A and B are shown apart, each in its own frame.
Chain A
Amino acid sequence: MGQLRADEFDRFVAARWSALLHLARLFTGGDRHRAEDLLQEALVKLWFAWPKVAEQAPEAYVRRVLARAAARSARRRWWGEHPVDQLPDPPEVADETAAVDEQTRLEAVLALLPARQRAAVVLRYYQDLPERDVAEVLGCPVGTARSLTTRGVARLRQLLAEAEPVE
């Protein structure tokens, strides 16, 4: 019974590891190590909830844990963010491919957003969730989720316009 549970859990994690790690990375504004820590924390919680959520939506459970943990961790002192007026130096164009450059620029501007705005934007545009589901994942009213998303996108638009367009 326990071995069966462990096998099912391992299969799920192995199948979804890449997508979940990318989601965690977006939630953390591109911090790979922090993303791995967040995902590890969420998967440990999933292990104990596995008998209840395995037949339903384990990925939605992990997504909710990740989003809330990312928003919470931004309030911790050791994970404090410091908004800056100027964007960090972009990588040298000649050294990186266009895709990596694009990704790096996106992560750099995402890191400048407040954590809840960043989570709302990622859930809305990367996960393509409707506003009601974004609100449910973040544990806030729909109006708050809509406001977080709108402000986050407006801030991203401003930051990217100051640097370079996304494309």
Chain B
Amino acid sequence: MDHFEQELARVMRDSQEDTLYEDRHRDRLHAGVRARRRARAAWTATGSVLTVAGLGVGLMVLPSAFAQDDPTGPQRRPGTPAESVPTPSAPRPVPTAPQAPMPTCTSTTRSVPTPYRPSPSEPPMPTRTSPPKPVPTPTCASTTGPLPMP
């Protein structure tokens, strides 16, 4: 800091006057605080009103917009074949006991206790002398209960 800068700092400090904080200063300051408080309250109220109005308009407009765009039924995804549209399936059993093995859907070869009944549309089975072989049927094996009968 050279001489000029030192003199500059000194003059700035020496030029300070003792000014009293008078009543008129206090009154003016308090009036400013009150005015600012009123302005802030007005801003808050305006913001609340605008928010409520915006929500109301949104709630009125959005349902009608959704109603116009509402599809009549489930639509296939583009590029998905019609056969792959998922169909509702039976609910799987929910294990209730903890640590119980999860039921798994496996394609196993099991002997079905019900006799085979050919449907009328299928060709008749050839007659055999040997006992009927087990029919592989996809079953849902569960360790907690019997097999669901079709």
A residues sitting closer than 8 Å to B (CB atoms) are 10, 13-14, 17-19, 21-22, 26, 36, 40-41, 43-44, 47-48, 99, 102-103, 106-107, 121-122, 125-126, 128, 153, 156-157, 166-167
> Within 8 Å CB of A43, what residues of B?
29, 32
**A106-B12 CB under 8 A given contacts A13-B21, A17-B25, A40-B32:** yes
Q: 24 interchain pairs (CB within 8 A)?
A: A13-B21, A13-B26, A17-B25, A18-B17, A18-B19, A18-B21, A19-B16, A21-B19, A22-B17, A26-B12, A40-B28, A40-B29, A44-B36, A48-B33, A99-B15, A102-B11, A102-B15, A103-B11, A106-B15, A125-B5, A125-B9, A153-B8, A156-B8, A166-B8
> Within 8 Å CB of B17, what residues of A?
18, 22
Majority-rule SS of A interface residues: helix
B122 contacts chain A at the CB level, 8 A cutoff: no
**A122-B8 CB under 8 A given contacts A13-B29, A18-B17, A43-B29:** no
**A47-B9 CB under 8 A given contacts A18-B16, A18-B17:** no
Instruction: Please state if A166 and B4 are interface contacts (CB–CB under 8 Å).
Output: yes
Closest residue to A23 on the B side, CB-wise? B16
Given contacts A103-B15, A157-B4, A166-B7, 4 further A-B contacts (CB under 8 A): A44-B36, A47-B29, A107-B15, A125-B8
B14 contacts chain A at the CB level, 8 A cutoff: yes
> Within 8 Å CB of A13, what residues of B?
21, 26, 29
Instruction: Please state if A44 and B11 are interface contacts (CB–CB under 8 Å).
Output: no
Instruction: Please state if B5 and A153 are interface contacts (CB–CB under 8 Å).
Output: yes
B residues sitting closer than 8 Å to A (CB atoms) are 4-5, 7-9, 11-21, 25-26, 28-29, 32-33, 36
Instruction: Please state if B9 and A126 are interface contacts (CB–CB under 8 Å).
Output: yes
Distance of A36 Cα from B24 Cα, bound (Å): 12
> Within 8 Å CB of B8, what residues of A?
106, 121, 125, 153, 156, 166
> Within 8 Å CB of B4, what residues of A?
153, 157, 166
Instruction: Please state if B12 and A44 are interface contacts (CB–CB under 8 Å).
Output: no
Q: Within the complex, what minimum Cβ distance (angstroms) separates B119 from chain A? A: 83
Closest residue to A166 on the B side, CB-wise? B7
Q: Within the complex, what minimum Cβ distance (angstroms) separates B6 from chain A? A: 9
> Within 8 Å CB of A122, what residues of B?
12
Q: Within the complex, what minimum Cβ distance (angstroms) separates A27 from chain B? A: 11
> Within 8 Å CB of B21, what residues of A?
13-14, 17-18
Closest residue to A99 on the B side, CB-wise? B14
Distance of A60 Cα from B26 Cα, bound (Å): 21
> Within 8 Å CB of A167, what residues of B?
7
> Within 8 Å CB of A10, what residues of B?
26
